[in-house]
DNA sequence: TTGTAGGCGTTATCAC
DNA sequence: GTGATAACGCCTACAA
């Protein structure tokens, strides 16, 4: 006879009754089936599937003091979050790894709202850990969060502290490679469109750019901040154009900005790569979509998402984890330089 | 003297002690402050802020049988979710509305995994309600979900049932308008790249297209499914090209597919709009990014996200809500037709 | 290996 | 208005 599941979800109590054991035994089975007799084990399992039982997350959290939830904190506005393929890739990686576990993802697009709301939510033990992608100097609430729960950063935090965990690429090295390539292609007056200077990626790529220039004794070209958006990239290019300083190449710190820059150059009747060489960054889908296809620095964002999640998961299990995971980048040569 | 917050989050018990009242009174204050004396009220409020108290979500859920969480279910793979600006817009709208409440968003990119996992999670009372965007015929698990909690659809479900709640545009009318415009521009052999036929938006836009053709007695041109992706749009265009059937215009059911189609046409040395007129759909950011800028049907996706959320919130409060909310579309004329 | 007994932090239902 | 006192569903010693 089919057990009649009463209205609402089944409870552990009902499972126990149907299986003819106590709640504790059911609970043990749920916890992995250690120290349970084979008979009890199968009885419980059958009862579980017969009742279509799934544990109540709330009750479990309350008793075990774990939420099995992790927060994804994006200190950006929704426009930038959804507008930049970089986030798409990294979140996909996080998602795909998390899917193998029973952790759940709580999404906080934190920039638009009073930060303290996100922070106090997390401080109150509503998630077990947090992933922070895209960290700005001004995001002090992130430090409050890091004090409350284990945090892993996607991209090293602006001021890295001992004990921080992060997954990143070597942006200095990558920036250096980008500009060195431009030099090797014959460019001599190389400008740059940077990311925000309050972000590690913004700072480091510029640093690499400068090193490459210094290495061969070339002077700095025009430098403008494009804010990691397409529109910002276009504006930065326009400012560079308006500045009047001559340039024959541009290292642009993200593919998205590079597209904007190309738009602006085209409006000024400059051709890429004929008049201006361009190297982007990310190798996101927009790199191939651009005309001309972008020469760019590939960074493994999807994989980074997976590793970020792995690191956090290890920490949550109390296992040791790598503090700094640095992934390799690769110069991808296409048509823009 | 500063109250010493013990390790971990403060509890309602501690607040009560500091305020010199009982837990019940604190709970009442939390619940809105009805039937509480002014003195008690301020005392409790002070205690709360002094202790930096935030209620435990788990405990509250357990006792009140509400989770204050809502599920966002996207029956697509992550690539499509992050690749299509339509989702960006609608999720932004949802997010922005939810931010004003104390509801939290649980993200389920459901297509890649065994659907039943998502469904049983929700059936077990782990969320109060769900929003489903992008519904396919094959997504039967959605119906299980709809039986367990209030659901509101973004885009009407494939087979609408009495009692369903959804926010949508009139895709038939919009499709009709798109093709009618093409006709008015002189096109006579009009093909179409559709969305998947197992989705309402895919079906309805095609229906509108056919009506417009029928209205003036024009024959049907080539029709291919582009799966609502850029690559799919390009392939569909190639199939149309290969088919050999002549055409002077294309109604493409999404801007993303339209971009793909333009790429494919360009590869075949066809120029837009000189050789082929194109009308897209969505008016997403890619519409202006395309070359030439896309003439398209604008649908208010961000606003739809807000309204979806409003509808769900009303239902959760037990208030009456509109079953069908139909938003207007608008033809935006640019360069592609 | 199994069951019993608390307790996790809230809300809800009562009397007072 | 206020405060005991049960639930809520699960986990975790502890005892058997």
Q: What is the CATH number of the domain that holds B138?
A: 3.40.50.2300
Q: Is position B78 within any domain?
A: yes
The pLDDT score that the predictor gives to residue A115 is 55
Higher local confidence (pLDDT), A288 or A70: A70
The answer to the question of residue B4 being in a domain is: no
Looking at the domain assignment, is residue B5 inside a domain?
no
Q: How many domains does chain A have?
A: 3
Residue A176 shares a structural domain with residue A162: no
**How does pLDDT run across B70-80, given as a tens digit for each residue?**
999 999 988 88
pTM of the predicted structure, to 2 decimals: 0.86
B183/chain A closest Cα distance in angstroms: 30
Assess whether A204 and A281 both reside in one domain.
yes
At which of A38, A64, A90 does a domain end? A64
Please name the residues in contact with B317: beta carbons below 8 A apart, sequence gap of 6 or more: none
Is residue B4 less than 8 Å (CB to CB) from chain A? Answer: no
CA distance A230 to B285: 11
Compute how many other C-beta atoms are within 10 angstroms of the C-beta atom of residue B207.
15
- A2 found inside a domain: no
**Spatial distance between the Cα atoms of A322 and A314, rounded to a whole number of angstroms:** 9
Q: Which of A54, A88, A121 sits opposite B121 (nearest CB)?
A: A54
- Whether residue A1 lies inside any domain: the answer is no
pLDDT at A114 over 90: no
Q: Which nucleotide is nearest to B28 (CA to C1')?
A: C11
Please indicate, yes or no, if residue B243 is contained in any of the structural domains: yes
Q: Is A82 within 8 Å of chain B by CB? A: yes
Distance of residue A86 Cα from the nearest chain B Cα, in angstroms: 10
Q: Please report, rounded to whole angstroms, the spatial distance between the CA atom of protein residue A33 and the C1' atom of nucleotide D13.
A: 18
Nearest to A8 among B56, B79, B125 (CB): B125
- A260 touching B, CB under 8 A? no
Distance to chain A for B217, nearest Cα, Å: 38
Residues 6-45 of A with CB under 7 A from strand C: 21-25, 28, 35-37, 39-41
Q: Which chain B residues have a beta carbon less than 8 Å from that of A8?
A: 125
Residues B141 and B213 in one domain: no
Sequence-ordered alpha helix ranges (H) in chain A: 12-19, 23-30, 38-51, 57-64, 78-83, 85-98, 115-123, 141-148, 171-184, 200-215, 230-243, 255-267, 285-289, 301-316
Same-domain status, A181 and A295: yes
Residue–nucleotide distance: B297 CA to C2 C1' (Å): 67
Is residue A6 over pLDDT 50? no
B149, B128 contact by CB (below 8 A)? yes
**What domain range is A110 assigned to?**
69-169+301-328
Q: Mean pLDDT in chain A?
A: 91
B67/A52 touch (CB, cutoff 8 Å), yes or no:
no
- The answer, yes or no, to whether residue A11 has pLDDT greater than 50, is yes
Please tell me whether residues A108 and A248 are part of one structural domain.
Answer: no
Given this model, what pLDDT does residue B39 score? 92
What is residue B204's predicted lDDT score, i.e. its pLDDT? Answer: 97
Q: Does one domain contain both B243 and B278?
A: yes
Which residue in A193, A201, A190 sits closest to A166, CA to CA?
A: A201
pLDDT at B107: 85
pLDDT at A271 over 70: yes
Interface A–B counts its CB contacts (< 8 A) at 109
Contacts with B39 (C-beta within 8 Å, 6 or more apart), sequence order: none
DSSP A149: S
Same domain, B125 and B141: yes
Q: Is the CB of residue B123 less than 8 Å away from at least one CB of chain A?
A: yes
Residue numbers in chain B where pLDDT is lower than 70: 1-8, 111-116
Nearest CB to A126 within list B57, B230, B291: B57
Best residue in A58, A81, A116, A149 to probe B by mutation, most B CBs within 10 Å? A58
Q: What is the pLDDT of residue B109?
A: 82
Please give the C-alpha separations between residue B137 and each of B144, B166, B202, B265, in angstroms, as whole numbers: 14, 16, 11, 31
Average pLDDT over residues A133-140: 87
- H/E segment holding residue A35: none
Strand partners, B295: B279
Residue A147 makes CB contacts below 8 A (sequence gap 6+) with: none
CB-based contact, B100 to chain A, within 8 Å: no
Give residue B295's pLDDT. 98
Return the CA Rg of chain A.
25
Residues in chain B within 8 Å Cβ distance of A130: none
Asked if residue B203 and residue B295 are part of one domain, the reply reads yes
With a 7 Å cutoff on the CB, does B66 touch strand D?
no
Residues A175 and A292 in one domain: yes
Does the beta carbon of B55 lie under 8 angstroms from any beta carbon of chain A?
A: yes
Same domain? A184 vs A156: no
B223-225/B249-252 β-pairing? unpaired
Q: Is the CB of A214 under 7 A from strand D?
A: no
Q: Is B271 on the interface with A (CB under 8 A)?
A: no
Distance of CA A7 to CAs B23, B123, B124, B125, B215, Å?
A: 31, 11, 11, 11, 52
What is the model's pLDDT at position A291?
A: 86
Domain's final residue, options B29, B47, B64: B64
Q: Specify if B333 maps to a domain.
A: no
Whether the Cβ atoms of residue B277 and residue B336 lie closer than 8 Å to each other: yes
Inter-chain CB proximity B106 and A109 less than 8 Å: no
d(C-alpha B247, C-alpha B151), whole Å: 42
Q: Domain holding B35: CATH number?
A: 1.10.260.40
One domain, residues A164 and A177:
no
Q: How many residues does chain A have?
A: 337
**How far is Cα B164 from Cα B157, in angstroms, rounded to an integer?**
8
B121 plus B261 within the same structural domain:
no
Q: How far is the CA of B14 from the C1' of C16 (A)?
A: 24
The pLDDT assigned to B88 comes to 86
**Subunit contact A83:B285, Cβ cutoff 8 A:** yes
pLDDT tens string B203-228: 999 999 999 999 999 999 999 999 99
- Which residue's entry shows tokens 């033990």? A125
Out of B64, B89, B105, a domain closes at: B64
Dihedral pair phi/psi, residue A285, rounded to 5°: -55, -30
pLDDT at A113 over 80: no
Whether A59 contacts A78, CB under 8 Å? no
Using the Cβ of B293 and the Cβ atoms of chain A, whether some distance falls under 8 Å is answered with: no
Residue pair B278/B294 in contact by the 8 Å Cβ criterion: yes
HEC states along chain B?
Answer: CCCCCCCCCCCHHHHHHHHCCCHHHHHHHHCCCCCCCHHHHHHHHHHHHHHCCCCCHHHHHHHHCCCCEEEEEECCCHHHHHHCHHHHHHHHHHHHHHCCCCCEEEEEECCCCCHHHHHHHHHCCCCCEEEEECCECCCCHHHHHHHHCCEEEECCCCCCCCCCCEEEECHHHHHHHHHHHHHHCCCCCEEEEECCCCEHHHHHHHHHHHHHHHHCCCCCCCEEECCCCHHHHHHHHHHHHHHCCCCCEEEECCHHHHHHHHHHHHHCCCCCCCCCEEEEEECCHHHHHCCCCCEEEECCHHHHHHHHHHHHHHHHCCCCCCCEEEECCEEECCCCC
DSSP code of residue A112: T
* Residue B108 forms part of a structural domain: yes
pLDDT surpasses 60 at A5: no
For residue B5, the model assigns a pLDDT of 38
**Between these two residues, A317 and B274, which has the higher pLDDT value?**
B274
Q: What is the pLDDT of residue A132?
A: 96
- pLDDT score for B114: 58
What is the per-residue pLDDT for B6?
Answer: 40
Could you tell me what percent of chain A has a pLDDT over 90?
69
Nucleotide nearest to A25 (CA to C1'): C2
* Cα–Cα distance measured from residue A251 to residue B284, given in angstroms and rounded to the nearest whole number: 28
């Amino acid at each position: 006879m089919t057990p009649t599941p009463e209205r609402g979800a089944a409870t552990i109590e009902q499972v126990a009754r149907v299986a003819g054991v106590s709640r504790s035994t059911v609970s043990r089975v749920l916890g992995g089936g250690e120290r349970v007799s084979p008979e009890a084990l199968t009885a419980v399992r059958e009862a579980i599937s017969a009742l279509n039982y799934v544990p109540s997350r709330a009750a479990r959290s309350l008793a075990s003091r774990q939420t099995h939830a992790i927060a994804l904190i994006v200190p950006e506005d929704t426009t930038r979050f959804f507008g930049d393929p970089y986030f798409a890739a990294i979140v996909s990686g996080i998602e795909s790894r998390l899917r193998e576990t029973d952790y759940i993802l709580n999404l906080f697009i934190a920039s638009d709202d009073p930060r303290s709301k996100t922070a106090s939510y997390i401080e109150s033990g509503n998630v077990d850990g947090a992933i922070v992608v895209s960290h700005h100097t001004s995001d002090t609430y992130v430090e409050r969060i890091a004090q409350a729960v284990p945090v892993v950063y996607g991209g090293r935090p602006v001021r890295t502290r001992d004990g921080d965990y992060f997954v990143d690429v070597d942006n200095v090295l990558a920036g250096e490679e980008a500009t060195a390539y431009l030099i090797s292609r014959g460019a001599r007056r190389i400008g740059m469109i940077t990311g925000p200077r309050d972000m590690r990626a913004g700072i480091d790529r510029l640093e690499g750019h400068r090193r490459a220039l210094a290495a061969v004794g070339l002077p700095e070209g025009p430098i403008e901040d494009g804010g990691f958006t397409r529109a910002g990239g276009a504006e930065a290019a326009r400012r560079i154009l308006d500045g009047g300083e001559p340039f024959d190449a541009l290292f642009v710190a993200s593919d998205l900005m590079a597209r904007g820059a190309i738009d602006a150059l085209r409006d000024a009747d400059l051709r890429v790569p004929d008049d201006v060489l361009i190297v982007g960054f990310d190798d996101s889908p927009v790199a191939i979509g651009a005309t001309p296809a972008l020469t760019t620095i590939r960074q493994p964002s999807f994989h980074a998402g997976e590793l970020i999640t792995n690191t956090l998961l290890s920490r949550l299990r109390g296992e040791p984890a790598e503090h700094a995971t640095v992934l390799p980048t690769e110069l991808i040569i296409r048509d823009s330089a």
